[in-house]
Every structure is written in structure tokens, then in C-alpha cells.
Amino acid sequence: MWTGTTPRIKVLVIDDSALVRKNITETLALDPEIEVVGMANDPLIAMDKVERLQPDVITLDMEMPRMDGLTYLRQMHAKRSPVAVVVISSLTPQGSSVALAAMDAGASEVLAKPDGNTSIGALAAKLSFHVKAAYAAKQRTRHHPKAPFTPAVRPAQVSHPASHAKPGDRRLIVIGASTGGVEALRSLLPALPQGLPPILVVQHIPAFFSKAVAERLNTLTPYEVREAVNDEAILPGECLIAPGNHHLMVVADAHGYRTRLTQSPPVHHCRPAVDLLFRSAAQTAGAHTLAILLTGMGSDGALGMHAIHQVGGINLTEHEDSCVVYGMPRAAVNLGVVDKLVMLEQMPKALLEALAELPT
């Protein structure tokens, strides 16, 4: 946490729109822990300002003249820049594809760029939160460099027959993640075999981008991964990801479980929120619930894990040593509701072992 005695986080705002630059700057200026040290209308100007101003974080538009944001980000990544990057991308399928490439190139966070339907005011509640998350993630990775992405283990390497779903099986797997979570999911999900109980995922990402993430994951896994839709049956052997800007919850019906999507107010500045998924799982699946909380800033998911703990489910959290940001797992640990802390590369094995312990 920041205090009045610690240096403020220095931010450089890069966007070709003068209005967006002004609005982002004014929004961040409301947070006493953040200082906007400059603005730039394209990456070529930004290069000089980064050198002179030494920002901790930049907010980066993707579509700009002379050089696009993705090219600039890739150059920064190649030079191992110490500056954290928050991408602000358009809410379109094409923008989401570029945003996903931006995360591959080292962006810590992706937010939706204001358009005709939304204003920068819609970002105000969470913009400073994500700037702080990006800063925390960069600080950690500078001191604990991570190897290039590879799946934790191959599906054939991890197996536990008792973990596979059978007719009438009531077990449910729920996963929550935030900063660094897209990479963590790319490690965990492809390492899981087919035939497991259903998996529901809340990852803090904007609308449209969640679909791009689901489609990418679906190409890596031996089972189907896709965005959830409202009021659909939740089936074994599938992984459903919460759409951006919608809370995902689970409800019971005569045949098992169904999804419920809502746009009720954000929780912890987030929609979707992990807590809402976890609490609904506790209420609906009870002791048949396995919850996993991966890397992320803040405390979302901790209270949901408390609810799961109270009904006899099993809670696993990612170990501090493999987290990009050890915020959400730490909050759950501090509540005393975590059954096991697990390094990310060991999470597939731990997940299957925990499933085998749950009542079916």
C-alpha cells in the first residue's frame, strides 16, 4: 500500500486525442498516490519523454499516427523497459485482438477506450486501480523475472481418474484472476485433461476482450473454452469465461447448474467480480465446490472463498512466489480460508487432487 511518505507513481499519458489525454490526466490527478508527469500524442514523442521524465507507468493508446501502440510496446519489450504499460484499447473485436497481442508483448493491464457509448468518467473508478496494479506487477517482475510462457504440464502428464465427472456429479470448479491472470490461465487450463466437472472463470478484463481471450484459450485446451451466455446449462467438460462487463454467477435448476449474467454494480471496481461467482457457487454447489484464486491486485475473491470455506468446499490459491501480483491470494490467506497455497506450475496436479477429495 502507498502512504503519504512514499513517492507517487509517475505516469505518462500517450494518446493521439487531446481530449482523451486531458480526461485521463484529470482522472488520475484525483488520486493523491499518482502524479501525471507528462503527455504525448504519439510514440515517437513518447520515446523522448520516457527518457527525460522516467515514468513508472504509461497509459498507451493502440491506434496513433506515425507509430501504432503495439509496435512501440514491442520495442519497449525488446529493450526490457522498466516502465509498466496500461493499454487503453477500443471496444471492438479488432481492438481486442490487438489488445491480446499487447499483453503478449508485455502490457500489464488492458482497459476499454472510451467511445461514443462510454466516457472517460466510466473509467474513473478503476483507472487509478489498474495503474497501481500495473506498477505493482512491473515492480515484482523486475525483481522476479518470469520465463517465457509454456503450459505448466501437458495433459497427458497429469491425471487422476477420481477427478473426472460422472453422471449426476455435482462438483464445480470456479477460478478467479486479475493482473497477470491471462498468462496464468494460459498455463493452467491447457494442462487440464478432458472430462472434468464444469469450470467457470472470472478474469478482470473488458468487454469484447474476454471473447478474444476465450478463443485463444480454446485453441490451447483439449476441451471447449468459450464466453458464457446468460441462462445456459453448465456442463461437464466445458470451461465458461465471464464476458467483460458482466458478472457471472451459478444457479441451480432441476438438472444441475445454469449461468446467470448480470450488470449489477461493480464490486471492488470490477465487473465481472470474482466474489460474486464464488459466493454463488457456495450457495448453489456448497461442499461440491473447488475454488482457485490466481494472481491479482486487490482483494476480490477473498470473501467468496470465505463463503466456500464455510460450506465445506476446497480453496486453493496461487503461491506468492509465482504470482505477478500477490494481492487477491494474500487477502484470502489473511482470512484463514485457504486450504493450500500452490505454485502455478503445480496447480494442475493440485486441482485434480482436490477434485478427487470433493463429494460428487
How far is Cα of residue 231 from the mean position of the Cα atoms in its chain?
23
The answer as to whether 4 is a domain residue is no
> How far apart are the C-alpha atoms of 314 and 286, rounded to whole Å?
10
Same domain, 289 and 346: yes
Q: What is the model's pLDDT at position 6?
A: 74
Please compute the mean of the pLDDT values over residues 150-174 and round it to a whole number: 73
CA-wise closest residue to 89 among 226, 244, 203: 244
Same domain, 100 and 165: no
Annotated active-site residue in 89, 178, 280, 322 = 178
The answer as to whether 108 is a domain residue is yes
**pLDDT, tens digit, 9 for 90 and up, residues 10-54:** 999 999 999 889 989 999 998 999 999 999 999 999 999 999 999
Annotated active-site residue in 15, 169, 300, 339 = 300
Same domain, 194 and 267: yes
Place of cell 465487473: 271
Q: Counting Cβ atoms within 10 Å, is residue 142 exposed (0-12), middle (13-18) or buried (19+)?
A: exposed
Contacts of 336 (CB under 8 A, 6+ apart): none
Annotated active-site residue in 164, 204, 268, 306 = 204
Residue 260 has pLDDT above 90, yes or no: yes
Same domain, 171 and 267: yes
How far is Cα of residue 39 from the mean position of the Cα atoms in its chain?
27
Same domain, 323 and 188: yes
CATH number at 289 reads 3.40.50.180
Boundary (domain end) residue, out of 82, 111, 143: 143
The answer as to whether 123 is a domain residue is yes
DSSP 245-278: TSEEEEEEETTEEEEEEE-PPPBTTBSS-HHHHH
Q: What is the model's pLDDT at position 53?
A: 96
Q: What is the model's pLDDT at position 156?
A: 43
Q: What is the 3-state secondary structure (H, E, C) of 284-314?
A: HCHHHEEEEECCECCCCCHHHHHHHHHCCCE
Q: What is the model's pLDDT at position 148?
A: 44
> How far apart are the C-alpha atoms of 71 and 263, rounded to whole Å?
35
Q: Which three cell numbers stand for residue 209?
A: 476482450
For residue 273, what pLDDT band results from cuts at 50, 70 and 90?
Answer: very high
Same domain, 294 and 351: yes
Edge-first strand order for the sheet with 199-203 is: 224-227, 238-241, 199-203, 172-177, 289-293, 314-318, 340-342
Same domain, 254 and 288: yes
Q: Residue 67 in contact with residue 48, Cβ under 8 Å?
A: no
Catalytic residue list contains 178: yes
Q: What is the model's pLDDT at position 164?
A: 87
> How far apart are the C-alpha atoms of 199 and 89, rounded to whole Å?
28
Residue 116 has pLDDT above 60, yes or no: no
Q: What is the model's pLDDT at position 243?
A: 94
The answer as to whether 3 is a domain residue is no
The answer as to whether 274 is a domain residue is yes
Please tell me the total count of domains within the chain.
2
Q: Residue 25 in contact with residue 131, Cβ under 8 Å?
A: no
Residue 339 has pLDDT above 70, yes or no: yes
The answer as to whether 149 is a domain residue is no
Q: What is the pTM of this model?
A: 0.89
What is the pairing mode between strands 256-262 and 34-40?
unpaired
Q: Which domain holds residue 241?
A: 155-357
Catalytic residue list contains 204: yes
Same domain, 121 and 224: no
